[in-house]
Structure formats: C-alpha cells, structure tokens
Amino acid sequence: MLVFGTIPYLVIVALAVIGLATVALKRNLIKIFLGITIFESAINLFLVSLGYRDGAVAPIFTDAPSTEMVMATPQALTLTSIVIGVATTALLLSFAVLIWKHYGTVDTDKIRRLKE
Amino acid sequence: MITDAIIANSPALLVMIPLIAAFACPFIGRISPAVRNIWVVGAMVLTAAMALLLAGEVFSSGTVVYTFGASAPGMSVPPDSGGIPVRIVFTVDAMSALMQIIGAITGLSIVLYSIAGDRRHTGLESYYTLYLLMIAGVMGMVSTGDLFNFFVFLEILSISSAGLIAYRIDRGVAVEAAVKYFVLSTIGAMVILVAIGIFYGEYDALNIAVIASRMQFTLLDQVALVLMIAALGMKCGAVPMHFWTPDAYSMAPSSITAMLVVASQASLYGLFRVVFTLYNVTLNAATVGWIIIVLGVLSMVVGVTMAIPQKDVKRLMAYHAISQTGYMLLGVGVGLAVLGNQSLLDAFGYVAMEGGIFHIINHAMYKGLLFLTAGAIFYRIGTRNLNRMGGLGHNMKYTMVFFVIGALAIAGIPPFNGFASKLMIYESVFMFNPILSIIAMVVSILTLASFVKVFHSIFMGPRLPEYADVKEAPAPMLIGMGILAAVVVLFGLFPGVVVDHLIEPAAQALVNQGAYISAVMGGA
C-alpha cells in the first residue's frame, strides 16, 4: 500500500527532473519551453496527488453515501494552475515566433544581441 | 450609504477596478485614443483612491480583513466551518497598506507619464491592458492573505510584465530579454507552487494566518522555506539570481521599467511576508537572518560594481536597482536575525527593519523617477548610450533637475529621502555588525561616484550640434516625474512623520505575527 501510494510522487520527481534538465541543457527555445510545460505538469500532478483520498467520493451532497469525501481544494488549485500554464505557454510560444522572425533561429547560443 | 459600501468593499475594488478597466481597454480604445487615455487615467486614479482610502483605514483602525463571498466582509471564519477560514481572505495590515501606497503613487505618475511618453507607439490598447493588469497583480499580491491567491496574482504580474518587456520588439532584442525574464519567473512561480503544495499537504490550509498558527517548522517546512526564499529572491532581483534584471529593466519601455521596480518590491514584500508572518520565531531566526543579510550584501556590492562600467544608462540604473535592493534585504535581515530577542530588537532590530522598509518606499520613488528621466531623455534623443549624450542640460532643464533629485536620493545625500532611510540602516546595522555598516556606506559612495559620472556625461558640457534643437519633455511626462520628485523631497524633509505614521506600524505588523493571525482567526 505504501509502495503504491508513493508511485505518483516518484513520477512527479522524475517529471520535474526531466523538465528542469530540459530547460537547463537544451539550446532550442521550443525545447526549453517544452521543458517548462513538463515541469508544470509535474507540479499539477503533485497538487492532484495531494488531494487523493483512497475510497472517498466526490463532495456532492445530494444523495451522497455517508463515506469519506474528497476536499475539492487541490482540484481547484490544479485547474487554476493549468489555466495559468496555458497562458504561460501561449506567451512563451509567441515569443518564440517573434524571435524566429527577427533572428532567423531559435538556438539560444545564437540569440545574443542583448549583450552587444 | 454608498461611501460606506465603497469603504467596506475597498479591498475587493482595489483589484476589481484595474481588472475590469484592463479588459475593457481594447474595446474603449476602438472609440478613440483620447477616450482610452481618459479611461486609463480614470481607472488608475480610482485605484489609487481605493488604495489610499484603504491604507487610511488600516493606519487609523488596524488590520482590515475582507472575505470574498461571505455574508459580511469581516466574517473570515464562518460559524459552521469548525474554525477554518474556507474562503479567500484579503488581509490588509500596515505592511500591505504601505505597499499599496507605493503602488498607487508610482502607478499614477507612470500612467500620466506614459500618456505622453508612449503615444508614438502602436498597439497602445494592449499596452494599457497589460499595464492595468500589472497594477492589479501588484495590488493583489500585497493584499491577499491566501497563499494560492498570492501565486495567482504573482503569475498575473509576471505574464503582464513579460508582455510589456517585449512590447517594443526592437528587432527582437526586447523579446530576448522578455524570454529570459519569463522563463525564470515561470520556474520561480512553479517552485513557489511546490512550496504551497507542501504547506497544503501538511496543514490542510492555504490561508497564511492558519498556516502560521499551525507552523511546526518540520523538515518539509524548511524545504518549503528554502524554495520560497530562492524563488522570491530571484523575483526581486537579489544577487546571485539577478541575471534577468539588467536585461529586462533596460529593454522594457521606461515607464514599464519604473513599474517593474514596484513589481520586484511586491516580490520582496512576499519574501518578508513569508519569513515574518508565516514562520516568525519558529524558524532559526539567526541563520535565516544571516542568509538574507548575505544576499543583501552581495546584491549591494555586486550591483554597484557592475553598474560602474555600464554604457547604457538604463542598464546602469538597473544594476543600481539591484544594489539598492540589497539595502532593504540588509535592513530587514538584521531585524530578522535578532527576532525573538526583545532587548536586541528594541536596541536596533526595529530601527534596522524600519530603515529597510522605509528604503522600499523611497527606492520605488527615486528609482521610478530616475527611470522616467532616462525615458524622457530617450524620448527626445533616441539613444540610451551614455557616450553619445552630452550637453542636454541646456535644453532639458526640468528633466535635469528631476535627475539630480533622483541621483542625490539614491546616493543617500541629505535632504532627500534616500538619506533618511540609509541613515537608519547605517546606525542600526553598525550596532549589529560594524563591518556590514561600513560596506553599506562604501556602496553608497560608489553609487554617488557612478551617478556623478552619469550626470556629467548626460547633462554637462557644451551643447552638442546634433542635439541643438532638442526640446524639453512634454508636460504630462514632467507632471509624472514631478509627483515622484515631490514625494522624494517631502519624504527627505520630513522623515520623522513618515516613519512614525507609515513605517513603524508596518515594521510592527511584520514582527507581530500574533496580531496577523488573530485578525483573521478571531480572538484566538
């Protein structure tokens, strides 16, 4: 049981490491943005796993059986976080489009006009 | 009747007005640019009025608690909830009110400045939409008493800031700066969300007051603390997480740079809120205090030494902004290091914290002013390169006066406001550790040296032929700068009044965790 309960957290750590490693090591802007999205997914999964209760039901009070109910807060947090993530991704991708238009590349090693 | 309702709902209106105004802006803009300008200025004036009204309420009658969706705004704990505030609660104490005042004054003067300074650009509807979203983000961040809500406003703030940094695409260079800022701040925000998740998992709550009252300072809490300090320290531009600051500050339009200063300080507020209100004496105050002091000293020294060789005037000012953030961290860090030891706190801890907090408001004013003058110069001559400027004092006299006020204030020369707060920091930090105080003074002298050089290369010297017919900045820009300059001078002339009425309550509010908790939880 304990082993089963820890699987989501192992997945979360793996996803977070993959995401951050992608951000740190890749040179392609699009891949960096993908890394951010993977990291976001790891955190969304973290929030959802926090709210998971074994055998509990959704907190709808009409005709609910008298068992444990799930607190809906983590789900609400995750939804909000997903929405924010979509906005973030959209903005990042539009930056990528602009960079491509003006530099002709999405390689971070070649995007270095700022320092000149 | 209506005024009562407005006062009672001012915390909600403070965020609502800029939000509604922001999303209506693209539609209003279709009517005509003039109507849009009136709309934006009107929204900002209303927001500022709300902030000042609310701040007045807080300073006269204590912490204001506003519960969204409750039958009465003050009822943060519903009677049938078993003593848990289930709704989103705005908790506005003296520290929040101080930050709201900062946001209101700078926000208003920047809008006035922007009306003239940015009118030559296209896409101004989106510009003002994002600007008002920034205001909503800052106001929400400093008002909220709910950690997840804090994260949401933080993201609103960083998304709109990133859009505005990239606003003047500038052959892609501004976009490059925006990418750098946004990648870092997204990861920072995600890290904050992890910490919030940890708190929720441990204490089943998102309300700051509830978590604070249940705080155990377990290993998980320590992990969360490290995540919070790292992410918020990065967002406020402290060394060694400062890389985005010079790029973003120099590439954003000047009016936005001035607002970014306020945005950074909202993150600084978040840092102080976490350390003082969420953890307070449960954490190892000396260790965490020293971590913040070291961050502060590093920021001061690295910031100023990096600033001296810069040739881009806004880049130079951005490095100075990092350096000044160091003073705030130093002052408040010293206060934190002696937290829990009442005699040391009375001897110098409070004064150090007050100095640091006073420096926040002063910094927002003079740094905003300096960035606005840099923007005015750029508006007229089209370059930020110091080597290509000169002799502008002949033609831009008012801008020169405002620049001098800002430069003397940042260098800590009396009678300007920077001197008042820096003196408090020097004196109190000297009693804590003389070496830190000496470093702070040396950094101030270097700041002065750097600004003397900048002043000389921009304004002094003979009239250059290519700038012979440069005109003074337009009146709305001067009014915007004038408001900030007036505040700089007034705060410098009457520091005692400001400290007694604004800063001291704010410092007390940070230290006194119990008052914050009981304001939300009731008499507990």
Does the beta carbon of A23 lie under 8 angstroms from any beta carbon of chain B? Answer: yes
Interval B279-302 mean pLDDT = 88
pLDDT category of residue A3 using cuts at 50, 70 and 90: low
Does the beta carbon of A45 lie under 8 angstroms from any beta carbon of chain B? Answer: no
CB contact (8 A) between residue B197 and residue A47: yes
pLDDT category of residue A116 using cuts at 50, 70 and 90: low
Q: How far apart are CA A44 and CA A85, in angstroms?
A: 10
Q: Whole-angstrom distance between the N-terminal and C-terminal Cα of chain B? A: 32
B304, B276 Cβ separation under 8 angstroms: no
Output the pLDDT for position B13.
Answer: 92
Output the pLDDT for position A111.
Answer: 79
Interval A9-26 mean pLDDT = 93
B411, B418 Cβ separation under 8 angstroms: yes
Chain B residues closer than 8 Å to A98 by CB: 166, 169, 172, 175
Chain B residues closer than 8 Å to A80 by CB: 148, 152
Q: What angle do CA B87, B88, B93 make, to 5 degrees?
A: 125
Over the stretch B172-205, which tens digit does the pLDDT of each residue have?
889 999 999 999 999 999 999 999 999 998 888 8
CB contact (8 A) between residue A46 and residue B171: no
For chains A and B, what is the number of CB pairs under 8 angstroms? 85
Over the stretch A48-105, which tens digit does the pLDDT of each residue have?
988 888 777 777 777 666 677 788 888 899 999 999 999 999 999 999 999 999 988 8
Over the stretch B3-24, which tens digit does the pLDDT of each residue have?
888 888 889 999 999 999 999 9
B235, B175 Cβ separation under 8 angstroms: no
Question: What number of other Cβ atoms are within 10 A of residue B391's Cβ?
Answer: 19
Interval B236-253 mean pLDDT = 88
CB contact (8 A) between residue B193 and residue A50: no
B260, B252 Cβ separation under 8 angstroms: yes
Interval B381-393 mean pLDDT = 85
- When comparing pLDDT for A55 and B349, which is higher? B349
Check pLDDT > 80 for residue B65. yes
Over the stretch B111-167, which tens digit does the pLDDT of each residue have?
998 888 877 788 888 999 999 999 999 999 999 989 999 999 999 999 999 999 999
Longest CA span, chain A: 68
Check pLDDT > 60 for residue A2. no
Interval A9-38 mean pLDDT = 93
Q: Provide DSSP, B470-502.
A: PPPPPHHHHHHHHHHHHHHHHHHH-HHHHIIII
- When comparing pLDDT for B471 and B296, which is higher? B296
Check pLDDT > 70 for residue A115. no
Cβ within 8 Å of residue B256, ≥6 positions away: B131, B161, B164, B165, B167
CB contact (8 A) between residue A80 and residue B251: no
Q: How far is A55 from chain B (nearest CA, A)?
A: 18
Q: How far apart are CA B440 and CA B448, in angstroms?
A: 13
Check pLDDT > 70 for residue B104. yes
Q: How far apart are CA A33 and CA A21, in angstroms?
A: 12
Query: Does the interface predicted TM-score (ipTM) exceed 0.90?
Result: yes
Mean pLDDT of chain B: 90
Q: How far apart are CA B232 and CA B214, in angstroms?
A: 23
pLDDT category of residue A1 using cuts at 50, 70 and 90: very low
CB contact (8 A) between residue B183 and residue A92: yes
Q: How far is A100 from chain B (nearest CA, A)?
A: 9
Interval B309-325 mean pLDDT = 91
Query: Residue ranges of the domains in chain B?
Result: 284-493
Check pLDDT > 80 for residue A33. yes
Output the pLDDT for position B279.
Answer: 87
Interval B422-438 mean pLDDT = 92
The pTM of this model reads 0.93
Candidates B176, B184, B385, partner chain A, best to mutate (most A CBs within 10 A)? B176
Check pLDDT > 70 for residue B1. yes
Over the stretch B29-51, which tens digit does the pLDDT of each residue have?
899 889 999 999 999 999 999 99
Check pLDDT > 70 for residue B25. yes
- When comparing pLDDT for A113 and B112, which is higher? B112
Q: How far apart are CA B524 and CA B516, in angstroms?
A: 11
Domains and CATH numbers, chain A: 2-56+66-103 (1.10.287.3510)
